[in-house]
Amino acid sequence: MGEVPSVVSGSVSRSLGREAQRNTILAAKVVADIVRTTLGPKGMDKLLVDSSGIVSVTNDGATILQELALDHPAAKLLVEVAQTQEREVGDGTTSVVVLAGALLERAGLLLDQRVHPTVIIAGYRKALTQSLQQLPLLGRDVHSSAILKQLAMTAMTGKGAEGMREELADLLVRAVETVGTTQLDRSLVSFVCFSGSSVGGSSLLSGVVIDKGKVHQGMPSSVSEAKVLLLDIPLEFKSPETQTSLSLTSPEQLERFVASETDYIRSLVDRIVASGATVVFCQKGIDDVAQYYLAKAGIFACRRVSKSSMEHLSKATGGAIVSSIDDIPQAVFGYAGLVEEVVHSGEQYVVVTKCKNPQIVTIVVRGGTEHIVAETERALQDGLGDIVAAVSQGKIVAGGGAVEVALARHLRGYARSLSGREQMAVEQFAYALEVIPEALAENAGLDPLDVLGELKRRHEHGSVSEGLNLLSGNIEDCFSAGVIEPMRVKEQALRSATEVATMLLRIDDVLVCAPKPQQKEVLE
Ligand code: ADP
Ligand code: MG
């Protein structure tokens, strides 16, 4: 650490200049190295024990980094990049960190050769622009659900439920096709996890699952051909918010009051019964009296359903959420072929399924243990992210390192048009891209240099989709082999990795303030 000038408090640790840069690059390299071994289908898993002692096994970059308590600010920024990638596209989290780490490591070499950070930054930016321009030329159109299935399978290779990849990919494609492919969004496919069976028992529901039970034992456990009413008013005499105090002076008054309360609730329930609703989901409370009358009428009801669940129910059943039951038009009702209560591990759930044209669907993820279910869900999330990314942009690229090798080759050609030092930066960017095929090979126990050499040789001969297919162990055309990825995932990874690398390169001063000392309470 450098000498701390007296203007900065003694509790601030500071590193300056070249030393700050060196530390930043080192921190980034450490983070990248942690996740690098998990990259690709043959990547290893990590066993994580979080601060409260909970164990999980995962292969997912964002998940691993999220659990690590990293100290160095640069390391934290890199973790954020993985999280952004997760949020934006849902896949490519390991790649983006590995790439950012490589870009910084390569920049370190240039700094050693006394290339100024601003020149490296300018070169990296040019390389990024070039790559983003070149990418569409390497991409192909998405034109069938078979391609979507291959995408999902590529995303899930090497993840938890390896053996069930094909079935799970089918589930995802069916899920996406059920909600329709216009305005597709990842939130339209939700997941519920049930452990205790096998991954093969996972299924697609044309509807949603609510983590609530029916409110009264006397209600039916299942309703078919349900006419669903979504209410956001309380079925209570007075909701807690409007409660006022009431003073009663005689037993008759109390009796009258109770009778009027019962009558009021009864009139509410009567209106619901008259409307023909057979299932009621209520965002507010349903009191005992209302529960009794609803049960008596054979209506299935849930109360205190969360706002987001209400919205999901509305999307699934096509019903509108109503805030008045004075007059209930038929148009507000939703439809579900089946509404039933299920109990799993002592918890009650309501499954609303067999909806007509649902705008939201649910995948029920099953697996032997909680760990398997959680990792299967993460794999499915990656697959879903890829399908959604590919559908929204309509383009895919070849995986297995093919696209990275093709971009690196293009960049080397482009570098020749630049002047001295920027040229060096663009060349280093190209080397950084090649870390992806190298890591894929290395993680599979292959010689990274041999693989990279052979890939480059083939690309030199014009086969720009040749990549390393780790399912067959061969270098081949990855489009034909079905090892494909959405172009958007690559674009996002390139953008974010460059952004964070250039941001970290601009740092020449790291100031870390020590936590403020706790003021001791003085007890007289
Ligand atoms: P990320 O979190 O970056 O998505 P993954 O562990 O999912 O990390 O690995 C993604 C990488 O694995 C991509 O570069 C992809 O092309 C590659 N990949 C996926 N399936 C195969 C395969 N069968 N053969 C070779 N590479 C593959
Ligand atoms: Mg992935």
Residue 490 falls within a domain, yes or no? yes
Q: 341-373, pLDDT tens digit by residue?
A: 998 888 899 999 999 988 899 999 888 888 888
Q: Does residue 151 sit in the same domain as residue 200?
A: yes
Q: Is 270 a catalytic residue?
A: no
Q: Does residue 130 sit in the same domain as residue 152?
A: no
Answer whether 205's CB lies under 8 Å from 361's CB: yes
- From 393, 409, 441, give the residue that closes a domain: 393
Residue 68 falls within a domain, yes or no? yes
Structure tokens of 465?
């989709």
Lowest mean pLDDT among 183-192, 297-306, 461-470: 183-192
Domain of residue 216, CATH code: 3.50.7.10
Residue 91 CB–ligand 1 contact under 6 Å:
yes
- pLDDT category at 492 given cuts 50, 70, 90 is very high
Q: Is 326 a catalytic residue?
A: no
Index of the ligand 1 atom closest to the CA of residue 493: 3
Q: 425-446, pLDDT tens digit by residue?
A: 999 999 999 999 999 999 999 9
Q: Which residue has the higher pLDDT, 519 or 317?
A: 317
Q: Does residue 261 sit in the same domain as residue 291?
A: yes
Q: Does residue 235 sit in the same domain as residue 374?
A: no
Q: Is 84 a catalytic residue?
A: no
Q: Does residue 408 sit in the same domain as residue 308?
A: no
Domain of residue 446, CATH code: 1.10.560.10
Residue 406 falls within a domain, yes or no? yes
Q: Is pLDDT above 70 for 258?
A: yes
Answer whether 195's CB lies under 8 Å from 366's CB: yes
Say what the pTM is. 0.81
Q: Does residue 416 sit in the same domain as residue 348?
A: no
pLDDT of residue 404: 97
Q: 4-61, pLDDT tens digit by residue?
A: 555 666 666 777 777 888 888 888 888 899 899 989 888 777 777 777 777 777 777 7
Domain of residue 182, CATH code: 3.30.260.10
**What is the C-alpha to C-alpha distance for residues 101 and 314, in angstroms, rounded to an integer?**
45
The DSSP output letter for 226 is: E
User: φ, ψ for residue 517 (rounded to 5)?
Assistant: -65, 135
Which residue, 261, 278, 268, 263, is CA-closest to 326? 268
Answer whether 34's CB lies under 8 Å from 64's CB: yes
Residue 55 falls within a domain, yes or no? yes
**Which one of the ligands is nearest to 97 CA?**
1
Q: Does residue 221 sit in the same domain as residue 335?
A: yes
**What is the C-alpha to C-alpha distance for residues 301 and 311, in angstroms, rounded to an integer?**
17
Helix (H) or strand (E) holding 50: none
User: φ, ψ for residue 195 (rounded to 5)?
Assistant: -95, 165
**What is the C-alpha to C-alpha distance for residues 268 and 76, in angstroms, rounded to an integer?**
55
Answer whether 17's CB lies under 8 Å from 3's CB: no
Q: Which residue has the higher pLDDT, 403 or 243?
A: 403
Q: Does residue 73 sit in the same domain as residue 169?
A: no
The DSSP output letter for 346 is: T
Residue 92 CB–ligand 1 contact under 6 Å:
yes
Half-sphere exposure (Cβ direction) of 304: Cα atoms closer than 13 Å: 8
pLDDT of residue 443: 93
Q: Does residue 114 sit in the same domain as residue 157?
A: no
Q: Are strands 279-282 and 300-302 parallel, antiparallel or unpaired?
A: parallel
Average model confidence (pLDDT) across the chain: 87
Residue 7 falls within a domain, yes or no? no
Testing ligand 1's pocket by substitution, the residue of 31, 37, 39 carrying the most ligand atoms inside 8 A of its CB is 39
Q: How many domains does the chain have?
A: 3
Q: Is pLDDT above 70 for 145?
A: yes
Residue 518 falls within a domain, yes or no? no
Q: Does residue 230 sit in the same domain as residue 349?
A: yes
Q: Does residue 352 sit in the same domain as residue 424?
A: no
Residue 363 falls within a domain, yes or no? no
Which residue, 518, 386, 426, 509, is CA-closest to 13? 509
Task: For residues 456-468, give the mean pLDDT.
Answer: 93
Q: Does residue 413 sit in the same domain as residue 484?
A: yes
pLDDT of residue 519: 56
Domain that holds residue 349: 208-240+250-357
**Which one of the ligands is nearest to 35 CA?**
1
Q: Are strands 55-58 and 203-205 parallel, antiparallel or unpaired?
A: unpaired
pLDDT of residue 524: 44
Q: Is pLDDT above 60 for 523?
A: no
**What is the C-alpha to C-alpha distance for residues 138 and 143, in angstroms, rounded to an integer?**
16
Residue 519 falls within a domain, yes or no? no
